[in-house]
Structure 1
Amino acid sequence: MVIFSARAQREMAAPGVVLGLLAVCVATAAKESVLNMCMDAKHHKTQPGPEDALHGQCAPWKDNACCTANTSLEAHQDQSYLYNFTWDHCGVMPNKCKQHFIQDTCLYECSPNLGPWINQVDSSWRQERILHVPLCKEDCEQWWEDCQDTLTCKENWHKGWDWSTGTNRCPRGSMCQPFKSVFPRPAALCEKIWSNSYKYSPEHRGSGRCIQMWFDPANGNPNVAVAKYYARNGRAAAPAPWAVLLLLLPPALLALL
C-alpha cells in the first residue's frame, strides 16, 4: 500500500479544488450575464441603458432599455421602417388589437430581461432571437380576446409573406380569416405567431414566474425578478461549457492546475 504524506495529499487535491472553484465562478458569471443584456438583432442597442424619451407603450423601459427613442416611436407606426411590416394585411387592424402588437414590439425591442431565452440564429437581419419566453397567462389571453375577430391570412408571421411590393402581403391562395379561426386558443396565438418566440404560461402576472408585456413602471419592472429566477434555476439557454472557457485562462493560472 502506498501512503502519501499530508502535504502530498494537499498538493494533489489542489488542482481539483481550483477547478471546482473556477467552475462555480464561471457558471455564476454565465448566469449573471443574461440578467441585463440586449440581443444581437437589427435595431437593438449593444448594451441596455436609460432612454428618457421612449415613446408611448415603450415608456415603461425608459430606466433601462435596449431600444432607442426613435425605435420606440417607429414601433407605434402602422407601417414603420423597422421591418417594413404592416399589421393591416387583411384590412385595418382595430386599435384594441393593435395595442397588443405594439406592446409585443416594445417588449422585444426594449426589454433587457430576455437573456435567459436568447438563442443564436443564422439570419440575414439578426444573429440572435428569443425562444419560448414564458408569457403570463393574462397577457396572452387578453391578446387573444382583443384580437379574436381581427382578420389575418397566416398563422406564422415570421415567414411566407409576399414581399414583392416591399411590404408584407398575403401570399397567393391564402384567405383572410378571423384570428379565432387561425388561432383557436390563446396559447396558439402566443406560441405560433412568432415561431415560438413566446410560450403560453399558466403562471399569473406578479407571480415572478412569467414575463409581462404590460407593467406599471411606478412599481418597478417585474421581469427583472423573472429573468433572475429562470437563469438561476437552469431553465435558461445553455451557457458555454466552463471547460471550454478554461482555455481562455492565462498560462500562469493554468500552471496551478
Structure 2
Amino acid sequence: PQVRSLTPLLVVLGTVAVAQDSLLNVCMDAKHHKTEPGPEGQLYGQCVLWKDNACCTANTSVEAHQDQSYLYNFNWDHCGAMPEKCKRHFIQDTCLYECSPNLGPWIDQVDNSWRKERIRDVPLCQEDCEQWWEDCQDAVTCKVNWHKGWNWTTGTNQCPKGAMCQKFKFVFPTAAALCEQIWSGSYRYTSHHRGSGRCIQMWFDPAQGNPNVAVAQYYARGNAPPNSPLSILLALLPLTLLAPL
C-alpha cells in the first residue's frame, strides 16, 4: 500500500501553529494602541495592572481616567454625574481595551476612520459583569449602545433628540445586557469565574501575574470563537487528512 505523504499535514499544522501564536501577545490596530506590547513602567491609576506588558502608553493611561479625555472626547456624564463607584468600571474597561495584549483571539477587522480592528465577544468573567452592573444600576444614561447614535455637534457626545435619561437598571435589566450591549458586542457575559482560565478578567492582582495570558492561550489553541480564521483553519484539517494521494 502507498504511504501517505506527511508534507501537506505538516504544512497545515505549521500554519495552525503560526495562526495560534499570531493571536497571542498582540495589540489592536486602533487609534491609541502601540504597534507591539511591551513594559510601561509609568502607567497610571487603574491601568497599572498592565505595566509589565502593555499596549497603551503612559499618556493613554492618564487620559483613561479623565471625565472627558482626548482619547475619544467621550463624556461619561451625559445624563448627569456618573457615581464614582460606577465610573471606576468604565475606567477599568478602558484600561483593558487600551492596554491588554491578551485580546488577540477576539480581534475583528473593521473599517472605521479611527481604527482598523476591534474586539468582539470577549468572554468576561461573571463577577466582572455582575459587579459592573451592581455598581452602575443607579447611574443614568439615555442609550443602550454607546458606540453609535450620539449627537456629536458640540464635539462631545450628547443624548440624541428625544432620548430619555433613565437609570441603568431600566436600560440594562441584567448584567449580561450591560456587558454585551453597551459596546455593541465587544464583550460576552459568561458563567465562568475569575481564576477559571476560561474568561477574561477586567480586574486582577498584578502581584499574582496576569491571568488573561492563560485565557488567551486557551482560546487561541483549539477553542477559538466560531467563524474566526483559526477555527475555519482547524475545521479544514480533517479534509487534509482525507485528501487523495
TM-score exceeds 0.5: yes
SS of residue matched to 1:173: coil
Q: Please tell me whether residue 142 in structure 1 is matched to residue 131 in structure 2.
A: yes
1:47-126 matches, cutoff 5 A: 47-126=36-115
Q: Give the CA RMSD over aligned residues.
A: 1.7
Which of 32, 35, 54 is the equivalent residue of 1:43? 32
- Pick from 217, 239, 248 the counterpart of residue 206 of structure 2: 217
Partner residue, 1:167: 156
Distance 1:174 1:31, change over 3 A: same
* 1:34 aligned partner, one-letter code: L
Equivalent residues in 2 for 1:146-225, closer than 5 Å: 146-225=135-214
CA deviations on 1:212-242 (whole Å, 9 max, x unpaired) are 0000100000000100111112324324977
CA distance in 2, matches of 1:241, 1:197: 21
Distance change (3 Å), C-alpha of 1:122 and 1:240: farther
**Structure 1 stretches lacking a partner, 5+ long:** 243-257
Matching residue of 1:249: none
CA distance in 2, matches of 1:239, 1:210: 19
User: How far apart are residue 20 of structure 1 and its match?
Assistant: 1.0
Percent sequence identity over matched residues?
Answer: 71
1:238 aligns with 2:229: yes
Structure 2 stretches lacking a partner, 5+ long? 234-245
Matched, 1:127 2:116: yes
Contact 2:40–2:53, Cα closer than 8 Å, also in 1:
yes
Task: For 1:2-17, list aligned pairs within 5 A.
Answer: 9=2, 13-14=4-5, 17=6
